[in-house]
Amino acid sequence: MKIERMFALLLYLLDHELVTKSALAEYFEVSAKTIQRDIELLIAVGIPIETYLGARGGYAIKADFKMKNQIADFKDYQSISTALKALNSALPEPLSKDTLTKIQSLQNADTAHLVLDFNVLKENEKIMERYRFLDDAIAKETVISFSYRNAKQIETRKTVDPIGLVYKWYAWYLIGYDRYKKNYRYYKLTRLKALKSENGFINQHPTLDTILSAYLDKDDRVYYDILLLCKAETNLEQMDCLNGVKETVYPNGDYLFSLHLPKDEMMWKGALILLGKQVQILKPLELKKELIDLSQSFINHHQ
């Protein structure tokens, strides 16, 4: 399992000063790209791995992180344990109990007072099946094709080099290279169907971090700037999840609440509808009309 290999990779790096990518690939019996992706994931969760270029280059964990041949101190063990347990709650396949036990046994790391529950990331089983298919294709460096429906409900067939999986904007996305349009794209897993492996292997691409920062680390979605008038008794938990700002509070406790949210995302729109009489949309009028139409369509369908 990938997470077990990553844990073994971490221990291997702790026991060696500098290891080349090819040596790691040979040792773990995977491709050099797989090692590179594993290294990127370890860096993403806070392991300070340095990359050295050139003929004698490779990977090494920073010397000051190797504290008397230990991974880290008590608090760091707690952080690693918490991160692994959070990851375990999000993955379609749970981590090996041995993996968690090894970390938790170090300095009693399971006594951490912080818990991150990412169960919501699992979505439903159908989406997780797609996740597993894509994860396997990425590991095997296999070209894939699928039908994709964009936010405007236009469906097209795509042939893609799968590069990585990212949880962003409330959902799982595939990061891939469109072989026809010759660009890097996000593909929302809920909009994929008829996934299929194709002949051939993926081309050489920059690292996932490079792709995200150089090509995709920009949000080109269209946004609504929203202003709500909220009743004093408005459900604060629902308002918090919308990540807005309380602008003005009136003497009776009512208040203005501003939001900046992506126009094509539906999750927050459902939250606004659920608030019902507690909120009034002051602007934009386009959003008010959209939510009225959605609500009326639901009523008509169920009458």
* pTM, full prediction: 0.53
C-alpha–C-alpha distance, residues 298 and 278, integer Å: 20
Query: How far is residue 281 from each of residues 227, 241, 257, measured CA to CA in Å?
Result: 6, 17, 10
User: Would strands 142-149 and 192-201 be described as parallel, antiparallel, or unpaired?
Assistant: antiparallel
Q: Please list the alpha-helical segments (H only) found in the chain.
A: 2-14, 21-28, 32-44, 74-90, 97-104, 125-140, 208-211, 236-241, 267-275, 285-302
Cα angle 73-76-82, degrees, rounded to a multiple of 5: 145
69 has pLDDT over 50: no
pLDDT digits (tens, 9 = 90+) for 227-276: 999 998 887 666 766 778 888 899 999 999 999 988 888 778 888 888 88
Q: Which whole number is the average pLDDT over 82-93?
A: 65
Query: How far is residue 276 from each of residues 14, 32, 292, measured CA to CA in Å?
Result: 55, 54, 11
pLDDT digits (tens, 9 = 90+) for 28-67: 888 888 888 888 888 877 788 888 877 667 888 887 665 4
> Which of the listed ranges 53-62, 86-95, 186-195, 208-217 does the model predict with the highest average pLDDT?
186-195
Q: For a pLDDT cut of 70, what percent of the chain falls above it?
A: 73
